[in-house]
Amino acid sequence: MPFFKWWEDAVLRMGWLLIIGAAVLWAGAAAAEVGMRALSFTNPADGGAARVVVWYPTDVPETPVRRGPFTFRVAEGAPVAEGRHPLVMLSHGSGGSAFGHADTAMALARRGYVVAAVHHRGNAFDDDRDAGTERMWRNRPAQLSAALDYVLADPDLAGRLDGDRIGAFGFSAGGYTVLVAAGGVADLGRITAHCRTPPAGERFCHLGNEETQARVAARDPRIRAAVLMAPVGVPFSKGGLAGVTIPIRLYRAERDEQIAGSQVEKLRERLPVPFEYEVVRDAGHFAFLMPVPAAIAAEVGPPAWDPPGFDRAAFHERMNAEIADFFDRTLAIERQGR
């Protein structure tokens, strides 16, 4: 099954029900209300429209919002709460969705962050034409920076953002995207070489089906800290990571069936800066996606399933707090009693 192909089958049928699951996880939290809005920015690769979904703290009460037959709670289109808030950019996995990490985005919003999730044109569930090509690896970091440009200039957001406190987090190919933005230089020929004899059981290599020796460098100095969740690591040599100087929090799924553990371990060994690292015991690759309600797990398929004994909801409660704490420390966030 192509990487994240499940979004095309599952999200188009069930869409916003997944967001209900994320909202329920945080419904009882004594924190800020969460606002949400979707924006369009210009894709630098082709000039077409690309999307970014933004979550943020607001003082407007959340209300039920319907999308098709489904309902979730959010203050849609509400103004951002007073103050200047740190910003976190989010990059989803190959073939994924801006909504795939909605619970983490909402948890950060309740802690006072604005979170902007790029819906990667050409490598999302509804437009995956670039999967496995040089365009995919090159366009993703460019889209992340273009979305950051747009969000910082948006008239409804700009006055509420602190441009000196910007972080990013990414999952899988999104981890690659964030690492390039953090100063990593990707050598795409390393993917080709890796996929000639991939580790047994690794499903990553359908993204390594194009012969190319291109290098991708797209550092964005505005990003000051990064979280990488089961990132694609093979494009990065030790020299290619020499330019990464920002704080990093790195997660590896112990039972990852998509990205071999060796990819993340070798990335860990090559990172030149002190970092935080966790191997998530018993977790599969998709453990970093938001929990899926049990009622639809069978229909969603493998990305909703976890290895026996692994509790994704409990993990996310802990992980979301860890990520917020990490950004608090590395972006020097001062709590304001929210």
Q: How far apart are CA 128 and CA 93, in angstroms?
A: 11
The model's pTM is 0.90
What are the structure tokens assigned to 69, written together? 């037959």
The mean of the pLDDT values for the chain is 88
Which residues contact residue 289 at a Cβ distance below 8 angstroms, ignoring those fewer than 6 apart?
96, 100, 101, 171, 303
Confidence of residue 11 (pLDDT cuts 50, 70, 90): very low
Residue 192 pLDDT exceeds 70? yes
Residue 338 pLDDT exceeds 60? no
Question: Residue 299: what pLDDT?
Answer: 79
Nearest to 184 by CA among 137, 146, 134: 137
Digit-coded pLDDT (tens) for 119-168: 999 999 999 999 999 999 999 999 999 999 999 999 999 999 999 999 99
Residue 55 pLDDT exceeds 60? yes
For the chain, domains (ranges, CATH) are: 6-330 (3.40.50.1820)
Question: Residue 68: what pLDDT?
Answer: 40
Q: How far apart are CA 20 and CA 332, in angstroms?
A: 32
What are the structure tokens assigned to 191, written together? 């993917």
Question: Residue 333: what pLDDT?
Answer: 63
Question: Residue 32: what pLDDT?
Answer: 78
Question: Residue 87: what pLDDT?
Answer: 98
Strand, helix or coil at 224?
coil
What are the structure tokens assigned to 203, written together? 């499903």
Residue 27 pLDDT exceeds 50? no
Average pLDDT over residues 73-86: 94
Alpha helices in 79-172 (DSSP H): 102-110, 134-153
